Structure 1
């Protein structure tokens, strides 16, 4: 056997692949479990009311910080990749990243302002060290077996999707049903399990991923050939200066953007104006312009073939930005759409069918993954007992949570209840609970009142449209009431947990029984200009009634009717992406291997068309939601369709993208082009948050459907562009398919 051969890894195999691949499989699975599980809850936590133990942020603020977080996760991969390649090696990079993410999730579980932000910081840098280096280890294992590489990556990415699937399903369920800390905390626990099982099995990788050796001058000289990109083109001082300025402006803007919005301008690095343009816009446009200038300077310096292929990559990166900006509406605007505008309570036969399907979706994949664990244990227990024991313990816990979830949903029912509201009138509502009650039984409910200013003269105002669209319960028994009120005082109040101040007012009014009441409402900047102490206004008060799991006796209600039902969590819909990937990936793989395999531009055209069809589906579903409506009751079928089409789009764009980079540029330039690629993805992630922010203002003025139609139009335009330019880019790629 040759000294550098990787045949040693094939002495112990599972399903025909090295056991080491499955150590990576489970490590990656638990990392994706924690990442996607936490991410599914983030925007919901920020926007949940204080009564629901959230921070009560406006959706725009939550989406701003979400966009910055996901963007920085991708930017940090460049830092993590550099340290792995040059300083600590792949293996230690994975360990450092996993440890930082474990700490990050632990911080998130504490839910205070300091620890939430500290946790997000740990998660950003942890992902940067972890994410790019797992695939590098896989690549090294199969260095001498290239014919088995495709199969290896297929298995590895099954681990990615399995982790995302179970993370969103279980962390989301715990977070929504029990408490946010449970969702955040369980994500950290399983990240720790992934770290420990990797650490105790690290010797299975031999010398792979240890501290890198510096490349000699002779090796560098030998790597420079016509086929490998021709002569070296080191960056000039001017080019390095452009990179530094552009990077500084871009990073400070990404960090400053949510801070300026959340503090409503009180903290803003770029509060200046230039020619009437906001300073933040000036900064980011300058950073992007400098980057484009850099590309114009650099690309012409390469030999024609490399130059043409780099132009093709830049074009694909441009489309990729918008692809991810639309695709990543999933944990943002689409999850909020699921929470606020989707009828998630299924009763009777439809509820029973969902319970059965969801139980199978939970148990069957878990059983398959457990079978893989048993196969790995048979091969590696003698040498790596500690790793297998930790992994087995993690599966025992995950099985416990899964069975509890299925049992909880099995006993779930909807109860029609009567209760006395805060105005002293009897209300009827429906609540969903897994506890068993009979007619006449007493139960504790929470009546979350939503109080907003209702200006009867304002066109499309929140009160007016809410009256038409808010569904108090399935039978639409009680929508809300309007009261004449007077502002007694205006004050600022510290936002619990968020560390900012918001404007509030105490208003006085008479309820339906003529009794004097007061309420605290939030005031916008526009409200402050319009209303002063003593101003007359109208209040619109709606109710959101839910079962009081903590039995805090906010309101006591009497059960009058019962029916089998289940309430689907807002995060549940996100698992459809992983489910559809596992189901559809083999079909798309067959397509790519057939004579009908589209060109690179063709795949992008198909992908953007499919993502446009998905957003069109949810646009159609949202068409009945009037401008300004806070809640509605849209069928779940529209969200199922959007995830189906978006997953097919992802299968056209995401897996092929990195493959084309490795084929299009010389080996010594791959790191730089991957950097550009991840920069494009990072910009797309930030755009996703910005698009989501825009959806809120647009929903108030023209309706939420308009927002999704705009995304549809962007997708179709880019699809047509990719289709029409296919011949040009086929020429630019010089034979690469």
Structure 2
């Protein structure tokens, strides 16, 4: 049986935050610092991996570095599934966010250690911590509104501003420290940012009331012990597999990346099958989940292209753009701040637009617009790549224009997708559904990391044009299926 009540408890009434519940400010600032750490590290990761050993980097080839980057992003979002389960069944969203922040900070501090092994060890901790924090903080935002309230999209758009405020500031600091002084100093700055986030979250917890304090569907007694045993066995199996790969000499960067890509896709298929065949969800919830499968495919396709900003486009910025301004060559990673500052500008406009339009523009239509715009950005990037043929350096304004188009697409799809996920979620899978939404990013990034290998063997113009046109075609196809998807959504707009 479905309910139109929000999942979880309401925070206490009182002062508002831009006309929204005061609790949104605590979650806004926590997410801002978490994204500062994430995007700060991400802005210099591929550049560090591909930098020569003599320059303090690891000297990994571009093809492998792009795949590592894509797979790392995929793992960050894949772990949102177990992170949502931990909150739903064991410790609640509030404690999951707290412990996730602590583990993320620890991971960045490990990456700040000036040795080669520290980067991969630190990324592992960040993956685990983000899995706990990311889906559950978004679930708590959803708890602040009625399930089908038009204000819900506006609230998520404001929350999205926090994400991008951190993402804007981070590359300017970590990029300068990493590229101009020392890579590990840049990673250390990300660690300090996440530390601020944890402190702020603890200080602002009084605003949250009972929201996220208890698991939505707690495991008790024997069920709890059985679940923890299964988690222990699964962890042991993963460690054994890694040990076997190490002993037989297959424990290489490419082997692990390929294995994790396959795991990401298989987990996605298995998780959708589990929800759709669960007899405890109603027919209406099952219909909504069928609609969500379509939205998931559209979102994964969007992120496959979009998240190459930190890999293929970042390397293009480093090698193919003229970054000299008044005798100062600014870090390539600074261009990673263009995207979030445009979102900061555009998010309030998007929040106003969705509130103004209400239910007149459906969620599937917004997704279709996002796909078309994302594809057009890569078509423009193909022109930039063609202009750089022969070794000429092109203006960074090419990338600025590409990011501007992508931002318009992102604001049509990403905050709307977060909101749609909380509205379409079966009650039983509240936090886990947010994990499933982030799994769309995981699938897109995992496949995108493999696709990015083609940038080495194809001409860059061909590479960008091929995938840009593919996204445009998919977006136009999505428009054709809008009516059918809306029917499956069973009253949710």
The superposition leaves residues 43-65 of structure 1 with CA deviations (integer Å, 9 ceiling, x where unpaired) of 01000112321111101121222
Deviation at 1:264, TM superposition (A): 13
Q: Which runs of 5+ in 2 are unaligned?
A: 1-7, 221-226
Q: 1:193 is matched with which residue: 192, 196, 210?
A: 196
- Partner secondary structure for residue 329 of structure 1: helix
Match of 1:721 in 2: 477
Match of 1:641 in 2: 401
- Partner secondary structure for residue 635 of structure 1: coil
The superposition leaves residues 19-51 of structure 1 with CA deviations (integer Å, 9 ceiling, x where unpaired) of 543333322211111111011111010001123
- Partner secondary structure for residue 328 of structure 2: strand
- Partner secondary structure for residue 453 of structure 2: helix
Match of 1:32 in 2: 35
**Residues 282, 131 of structure 1: alpha-carbon distance in 2 compared, 3 angstrom cutoff:** closer
The superposition leaves residues 554-603 of structure 1 with CA deviations (integer Å, 9 ceiling, x where unpaired) of xxxxxxxxxx3332321122211111112222333344333894333322
Q: Which runs of 5+ in 1 are unaligned?
A: 218-239, 272-278, 347-563
Distance (whole Å) between structure 2 residues aligned to residue 280 and residue 72 of structure 1: 12
- Partner secondary structure for residue 111 of structure 1: coil
- Partner secondary structure for residue 159 of structure 1: helix
Distance (whole Å) between structure 2 residues aligned to residue 300 and residue 638 of structure 1: 52
1:60-209 matches, within 5 Å, as: 60-140=63-143, 152-209=155-212
Deviation at 1:673, TM superposition (A): 4.3
- Partner secondary structure for residue 110 of structure 1: coil
Distance (whole Å) between structure 1 residues aligned to residue 287 and residue 106 of structure 2: 45
Distance (whole Å) between structure 1 residues aligned to residue 21 and residue 483 of structure 2: 42
- Partner secondary structure for residue 327 of structure 2: strand
**Residues 312, 265 of structure 1: alpha-carbon distance in 2 compared, 3 angstrom cutoff:** farther
Deviation at 1:107, TM superposition (A): 0.8
Deviation at 1:6, TM superposition (A): 5.3
- Partner secondary structure for residue 736 of structure 1: coil
Deviation at 1:269, TM superposition (A): 12
- Partner secondary structure for residue 58 of structure 2: coil
Distance (whole Å) between structure 2 residues aligned to residue 65 and residue 269 of structure 1: 7
Match of 2:46 in 1: 43
Cα pair 1:340 1:632 within 8 Å, conserved:
no
1:666-685 matches, within 5 Å, as: 666-671=426-431, 673-685=433-445
1:736 partnered with 2:492: yes
The superposition leaves residues 98-129 of structure 1 with CA deviations (integer Å, 9 ceiling, x where unpaired) of 11111111111113132212111110111111
Give TM-score scaled by structure 2 length.
Answer: 0.83
**Residues 306, 88 of structure 1: alpha-carbon distance in 2 compared, 3 angstrom cutoff:** closer
Distance (whole Å) between structure 2 residues aligned to residue 6 and residue 297 of structure 1: 29
Match of 2:4 in 1: none
Cα pair 2:320 2:394 within 8 Å, conserved:
yes
Q: Cα RMSD between the aligned structures?
A: 4.0
Give TM-score scaled by structure 1 length.
Answer: 0.57
Distance (whole Å) between structure 2 residues aligned to residue 192 and residue 289 of structure 1: 32
Higher-Rg structure is 1
Deviation at 1:16, TM superposition (A): 5.0
Distance (whole Å) between structure 2 residues aligned to residue 704 and residue 207 of structure 1: 52
Match of 2:308 in 1: 329
**Residues 288, 646 of structure 1: alpha-carbon distance in 2 compared, 3 angstrom cutoff:** same
Q: 1:345 is matched with which residue: 295, 302, 324?
A: 324
Greater relative contact order, per chain length (Cα 8 Å cut-off, separation 6+): 2
Distance (whole Å) between structure 2 residues aligned to residue 672 and residue 188 of structure 1: 27
The superposition leaves residues 486-505 of structure 1 with CA deviations (integer Å, 9 ceiling, x where unpaired) of xxxxxxxxxxxxxxxxxxxx
More helix per residue: 1 or 2?
A: 2
Corresponding pairs, count: 470
